[in-house]
A and B are shown apart, each in its own frame.
Chain A
């Protein structure tokens, strides 16, 4: 089946630094990737949608200059949290859709726990 690898699974960074999270589709070409954020005991909140080779579309209220998304290839998307602050601490999850998955296939990564200290 379709597999999405997300790395790192956990990261701790100092306030003011930047952190990059990678999301890779291992056995299919991900034409569209989605990035979600999830706070404890809450649901997944969509941050942005990216299509390969295009600029990401951000959801209302999500700062595009703070959460930089790159989807330069059909197998890799990255989310960079710039100038991270403690309130950015959260669980970040990517999801990918692509060719070979049928009309409605969404595959999720295993998530990245970001802690900003």
Chain B
């Protein structure tokens, strides 16, 4: 089912490294995807989005790649900074007509100075 209660995987990087966070989504009909950053005790913060008719989208220091063939999404963060430390979630819009977002399990990013 959705959002199975798994322990969050962790990615540890050094400051200045590039980070790649991966997400496998479940619904091949999903037409819109968003990456969110969540700091402890706060709500999700929008990072970048991509529609299903695109393979790649770039923002400031971030890039999202979409591979619809294998239902895979990735977030690349360039020159990772300690302030990037947080939990990152991908979310998909399953195109059910209700416009809801379904969240992936999340990845904790730890950036060491």
Q: Which residues of A contact B (CB under 8 A)?
A: 6, 32, 34, 36, 39, 41-46, 49, 57, 91, 93, 95, 97, 104, 106, 108-111, 113
Q: Are B3 and A106 in contact (CB under 8 A)?
A: no
Which of the residues A46, A93, A97 comes within 8 Å of B44, measured between beta carbons?
A: A93
Task: Report the separation of the CA atoms of residues A117 and B31 in the bound assembly, to the nearest whole angstrom.
Answer: 42
Task: Report the separation of the CA atoms of residues A111 and B39 in the bound assembly, to the nearest whole angstrom.
Answer: 11
Q: Which A residues touch B93, using CB under 8 A?
A: 104
Contact residue range for chain B?
Answer: 20 to 34
Which of the residues A43, A45, A97, A109 comes within 8 Å of B43, measured between beta carbons?
A: A109
Task: Report the separation of the CA atoms of residues A6 and B44 in the bound assembly, to the nearest whole angstrom.
Answer: 13
Q: Which A residues touch B98, using CB under 8 A?
A: 49, 57
Q: Which residues of B contact A (CB under 8 A)?
A: 2-3, 5-8, 32, 34, 36, 41-46, 49, 51, 89, 93, 98-106
Q: Are B101 and A106 in contact (CB under 8 A)?
A: yes
Q: Which A residue's beta carbon lies closest to that of B7?
A: A41
Q: Which B residues touch A106, using CB under 8 A?
A: 34, 46, 101
Taking the closest CB of chain A, its distance from the CB of B34, in whole angstroms, is: 7
